[in-house]
């Protein structure tokens, strides 16, 4: 597991939190339980797991949790908080509350602290007291809440998805124009996955079958290009062989479409590593930097912008090259890159690998203001890595992206038009 001075990537902490919540819900007296804190808000780096559990038998729940497999140390704190230190180094804080205050506690412990303070201020304006112990009227009477949305309705506010609840989030009065954020339910297909043709672990046919099982209507294959010899990059001959298999599978499954793409290396001078006639034969091209990371900021910025100006480059892949808790991104003026993407009509990737989550959601907010479209790409190298989509989706939701700003939500004819919109 990846750790760095008590920090963990979302892709490590979230699955562990899921398992603990599942375990909690199986215990006697537990009525509801959910992940809270920075995981629920979809932050890319996690310091601890926070969970809220509503139980009528808190003692039994504490006993069950302290004896749970994987617990190294346990401590009961502050009358309602059980702190577990897990054998993998993660700290898990479980807030055990009465069922009648569960919703208020979930909002409170989801955070962020600054956002919760704004909610408390709004509650005070309506003669309500909002704390982790519930919502109380002026006379001290507990206000019952069935769902989080009820709390926002009471405060005359639009509901904010958990991913949006950061310190700088502005509360919006109910009735103001409010665009829903994208969700996994909106996804009709994905692009940028790898197969055994390059460095993937699953065969092309298996990747397509798994995508179809998820209810998607299309899947874009983007194996590595020939320069990426370290990753089994495809020669032109192998590209043609893969294309024949794609055409065969598409003929056999007309209700599902495999798109023939490539992840083409952006060479140090900003060119790509296939001639234009080969690039033109792909349904889409993801252009990514995989080498010469030590170029100056000016040279790297020029390099990426030159690549985006290629009329066959559809998507800019993992734009900063970062690997969370492993490697900082290369020096690049991302503001200039975003502006060039907007000018050239290049789609920007939100790479969903939990080690990347690149483009960062903070920069995505700037890009959306400039009209850039996004592709939430799993960068899956196996069937199991389709699960990465939830991490990229969390980043997109933190950026406040609507379905119309994400190409994955478009139908096959619509997405094909978008993928080809730069072409001569």
User: How close are the terminal C-alpha atoms of the chain, in Å?
Assistant: 47
CB 331 within 8 A of CB 297: yes
Q: Where in the chain is the domain with CATH 3.20.20.140?
A: 184-419
Write down the number of H helices and E strands in the chain. Answer: 14, 17
Architecture in CATH for domain 101-164:
2-Layer Sandwich (3.30)
Superfamily of domain 3-97: Beta Polymerase, domain 2 (3.30.460.10)
Task: In the chain, list all ranges with CATH 3.30.210.10.
Answer: 101-164
Q: Give the model's pLDDT for residue 1.
A: 40
CB 225 within 8 A of CB 263: yes
pTM of the predicted structure, to 2 decimals: 0.96
Range(s) within the chain of domains with CATH label 3.30.460.10: 3-97
CATH pick for 184-419 out of 1.10.730.10, 3.20.20.140, 3.40.50.720, 3.40.190.10: 3.20.20.140
Per-residue model confidence (pLDDT) at position 178: 81
Partners of 224 in the beta sheet?
263
pLDDT of residue 4: 65
Contacts of residue 267, defined as CB under 8 A and 6 or more positions apart, other chains included, come to 227, 273, 291
Residue 174 token pair:
């109910």
Sheet-wide strand order for 347-351: 189-193, 218-224, 257-265, 284-288, 315-316, 347-351, 374-377
Q: Say what the pLDDT of residue 78 is.
A: 83
User: DSSP labels for 30-51?
Assistant: EEEEEEEHHHHTT-SEES-EEE
Cα(157)–Cα(159) distance, integer angstroms: 6
Q: What's the Rg (C-alpha) of the chain?
A: 24
- Nearest Cα residue to 340 out of 300, 395, 294, 399: 300
* Tens-level pLDDT at each residue, the chain (424 residues): 444 678 999 999 999 999 999 999 999 999 999 999 999 999 999 999 999 999 999 999 999 999 999 999 999 998 899 999 999 999 999 999 999 999 999 999 999 999 999 999 999 999 999 999 999 999 999 999 999 999 999 999 999 999 999 999 999 999 888 889 999 999 999 999 999 999 999 999 999 999 999 999 999 999 999 998 888 999 999 999 999 999 999 999 999 999 999 999 999 999 999 999 999 999 999 999 999 999 999 999 999 999 999 999 999 999 999 999 999 999 999 999 999 999 999 999 999 999 999 999 999 999 999 999 999 999 999 999 999 999 999 999 999 999 999 999 999 999 999 999 999 9
């Amino acid at each position: 597991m990846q750790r760095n001075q008590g920090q963990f990537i979302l892709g490590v902490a979230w699955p562990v939190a899921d398992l603990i919540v599942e375990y909690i819900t199986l215990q006697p007296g537990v009525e509801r339980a959910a992940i809270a804190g920075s995981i629920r808000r979809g932050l890319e780096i996690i310091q601890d797991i926070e969970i809220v559990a509503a139980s009528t038998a808190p003692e039994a729940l504490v006993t069950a949790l302290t004896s749970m497999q994987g617990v190294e140390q346990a401590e009961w704190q502050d009358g309602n908080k059980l702190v577990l230190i897990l054998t993998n180094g993660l700290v898990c804080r479980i807030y055990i509350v009465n069922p009648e205050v569960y919703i208020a506690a979930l909002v409170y412990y989801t955070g962020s602290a600054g956002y919760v303070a704004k909610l408390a201020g709004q509650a005070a304006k309506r003669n309500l007291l909002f704390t982790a112990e519930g919502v109380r009227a002026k006379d001290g009477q507990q206000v019952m809440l069935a769902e989080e949305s009820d709390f926002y309705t009471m405060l005359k506010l639009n509901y904010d998805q958990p991913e949006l609840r950061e310190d700088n989030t502005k509360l919006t009065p109910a009735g103001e124009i409010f665009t829903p954020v994208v969700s996994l339910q909106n996804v009709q297909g994905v692009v940028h996955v790898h197969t055994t043709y390059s460095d993937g672990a699953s065969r092309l046919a298996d990747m397509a079958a798994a995508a179809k099982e998820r209810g998607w209507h299309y899947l874009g294959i983007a194996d590595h290009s020939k320069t990426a010899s370290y990753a089994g990059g495809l020669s032109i001959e192998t590209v043609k062989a893969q294309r024949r298999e794609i055409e065969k599978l598409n003929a056999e499954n007309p209700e599902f479409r495999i798109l023939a793409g490539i992840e083409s290396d952006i060479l140090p001078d900003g060119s790509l590593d296939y001639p234009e006639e080969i690039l033109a034969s792909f349904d889409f091209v993801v252009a990514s930097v995989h080498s010469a990371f030590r170029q100056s900021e000016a040279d790297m910025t020029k390099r990426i912008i030159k690549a985006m100006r290629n009329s066959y480059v559809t998507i800019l892949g993992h734009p900063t090259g970062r690997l969370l808790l492993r490697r900082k991104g290369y020096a690049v003026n991302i503001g200039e890159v975003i502006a060039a993407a907007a000018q050239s009509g290049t789609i920007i990737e939100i790479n969903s690998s939990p080690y990347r989550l690149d483009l960062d959601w903070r920069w995505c907010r700037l890009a959306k203001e400039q009209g850039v479209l996004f592709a939430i790409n799993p960068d899956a190298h196996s069937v199991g890595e389709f699960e990465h989509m939830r991490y990229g989706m969390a980043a997109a939701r933190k950026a406040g992206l609507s379905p119309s700003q994400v190409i994955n939500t478009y139908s096959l004819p619509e997405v094909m038009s978008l993928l080809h919109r730069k072409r001569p």
